[in-house]
Chains A and B, each alone.
Chain A
Amino acid sequence: MSQDPAQAAPADDDVGDEPVPMMQQLCDNPFLLLFLGVAMPTVLYIVWGVMEIVGIPISK
């Protein structure tokens, strides 16, 4: 029985079995990136900034 040489090549199996690196998993997930890209400035710029403004004492 003939076999497709591309399927039989061991290199293909090696590629398939290799674990995907964590950073590549991150880069391949646009919705995780979306979460990080919205959460970071929301917390560090807006929430932190608003907390500082709210904390300014009001003159009497």
Chain B
Amino acid sequence: MAVNRNFRTCPSTGLVYHEPAEKLIRWNAVAGVVSLLVGGVLALLVTLTRWPAVKLLPPDWFYLALTAHGLDMLVFWIIFFEIAVLYFAASTLLKCRLATPKVAWAAFWLMIVGALMNNFAVFKGDSSVMFTSYVPMGAHPLFYLGLILFAVGALIAVFVFFGTLVVGKAEKTYNGSVPLVTFGAITAAIIATFTIAAGAIILIPTFLWSVGLVSHIDSLMYRTVWWGFGHSSQQINVAAHVSVWYAIAAIVFGAKPMSEKVSRMAFVLYILFLQLASAHHLLADPGLTSNWKIFNTSYAMYLAVLASMVHGLTVPGAIEVAQREKGFNKGFFEWLRKAPWGNPCFSGMFISLVGFGFLGGISGVMMGTEQLNLIIHNTIYVPGHFHATVVVGTTLAFMALTYFLIPTLFRRELMFPGMAKWQPYVYGLGMCAFSVFMMGAGTLGVPRRHWDMAFSGAILPHEFPGTAYLMMGIMAVSGIAAVVGGAMYLLITVGSVFFGRKIETPGFKRVPVREGMAPPPAPVAVAPAGHGAIGLGGFVAPGTFVLAMIFLVSFVLYYFVNWKYLSTVWPMN
């Protein structure tokens, strides 16, 4: 069987694209963006319903919309785009042909069929079981089957990624270790393997239960194994978007990691410990011991948090060093003031980094503490946290990367460049405010998922303070701002990809490459290379150090405030 070895080199970036990989990256990215469109429309409906003054949808439509929103955003948008990132990180960054493109296409179509089937089951109206689909709530069998097919397709795509690494090594398309961004993608792929396996372990019997072949699924067993899938699927995002941060720092600034060894070790910590944080969803469940809960959420999860803090320090640190070396060396923050804030690729990445760290990271550690978790368990604080991690962190990072991919991968000029400058701010800041006010309302006890926070008509209604209603209102307004930002992104990307002016390359042709592409290893300079006269007071990145200290103080204060709050809601004196 003939192997397609046709490559093209992007004239503006020098990136090398393998022909089948390029098509697969495009199609996976487009499928992701279509899922984002569907999920975004549903996001608007959900937000307008949770706005107490509006309550747009009736209860049954609300639960339907919330279920579809969760799945389209947390599973289909994110994983389609992640597969595109995996193929990019393996094939393009290693200058390597994609292993088994036909199998990769089979995986793609399996994922498409699975996503369509699952959406069909939800929109049919008898599968409004939320993203978590806790048993004994039952959904239509197509709901589970769709998820299983999607997961199998994604697993095959992950194996194609690993196969591409083997091809690159065998054909010597790179020397030594893989680049850091590819290493981050390996981390994401490893987490994806565990995630999908956990999903299969629980979703296959649940599918059999839905068709009557299995009589009973234990609800605690379901919750425990399902969260191995449900939470870990969001950890794939973390590894993927951190890789995107490193990639954008390199693309926009030519920044090199401050210490590649430390960054790689942080990814290894993710591989070993990040997935154990799934246990924080079960902190209020009886039946599981404190040993299991505390080991998984505290001891192990803190090592993964340490890794996130390393990435959160080294990415801006690398940018600061690169900027200072370019001459922006005055004071603590000239490097940041003079950063290209009008470039959506950078601004999106930076808002993603700060929002993920300050909002998602700090709240995640608080939630992962067994005692503190009691304050906010199953309140709207929880979606506040994961909108900060998954939406501000991952989605915004992926959006930022798209602005780089449109000219280089799709070979189209960006449409509406003025709008593109503003898009990360409208979307990112809208979503940051959305998360903050959700967390605020959650701290006051407003429940998550519930159609009506006032429990109108219930035998035991609950009266929340006016502040809670105010926060829910501000949350909704911020959410609408974020939806506008999302619509701007869709308009720019869809417009550019389908209607944007084509970037013509004179004399363009794909070049067949028989074996290998890596140049022979160059002799390594022995003399240690310093950073010259940049920085302040012996620090090469003093601005980042100050930001890290601000983060640390915020972290400690917030943690302390929550313990104090716990002591007031649960008097122990």
A residues bordering B, Cβ < 8 Å?
6, 9, 11-12, 15, 23-24, 26-28, 30-31, 33-34, 36-38, 40-42, 44-46, 48-50, 52-53, 56
Contacts and interface: CB of A to CB of B under 8 A. Distances in A.
Contacts of B275: 37, 40-41, 45
Contact of B193 (A12, A34, A50, A56): A34
A6 B186 contact: no
Interface in B26-76: none
A27 to B, nearest CB: 5
B476 to A, nearest CB: 36
B177 interface: yes
A38 B190 contact: yes
Interface in B444-502: none
Given A23-B265, A48-B292, 7 more contacts: A24-B177, A30-B190, A33-B268, A33-B271, A42-B197, A53-B288, A56-B220
A53 B292 CA distance: 11
A50 B292 contact: no
Given A44-B276, A44-B295, A52-B287, A9 B198 contact: no
Contact of B162 (A30, A48, A52, A53): A30
Query: What is the interface of chain A mostly: helix, strand, loop, or mixed?
Result: helix
B299 to A, nearest CB: 10
Contacts of B572: none
Interface in B153-194: 162, 165, 177-178, 183, 186-187, 189-191, 193-194
A53 B186 contact: no
A40 B273 contact: yes
Contact of A38 (B193, B224, B282): B193
A39 to B, nearest CB: 9
A34 B288 CA distance: 28
A9 B292 contact: no
B267 to A, nearest CB: 8
B296 interface: yes
Contacts of A56: 220, 287
B228 interface: yes
Given A30-B186, A37-B190, A44-B296, A11 B162 contact: no
B272 A40 contact: yes
8 smallest CB-CB distances across A and B, nearest first, come from: A37-B190, A41-B275, A37-B271, A49-B224, A38-B194, A30-B186, A34-B190, A40-B272
Given A6-B523, A38-B190, A53-B287, A45 B276 contact: yes
Contacts of B278: 41, 45
Given A31-B162, A33-B186, A53 B228 contact: no
Q: Which of A11, A27, A37, A38 has the most B CB atoms < 10 Å from its CB?
A: A37
Contact of B221 (A15, A23, A53): A53
Given A38-B190, A50-B221, A9 B272 contact: no
Contacts of B289: 52
Nearest to B267: A27
B273 A46 contact: no
Interface string B243-277: 00000000000000000010011001001110110
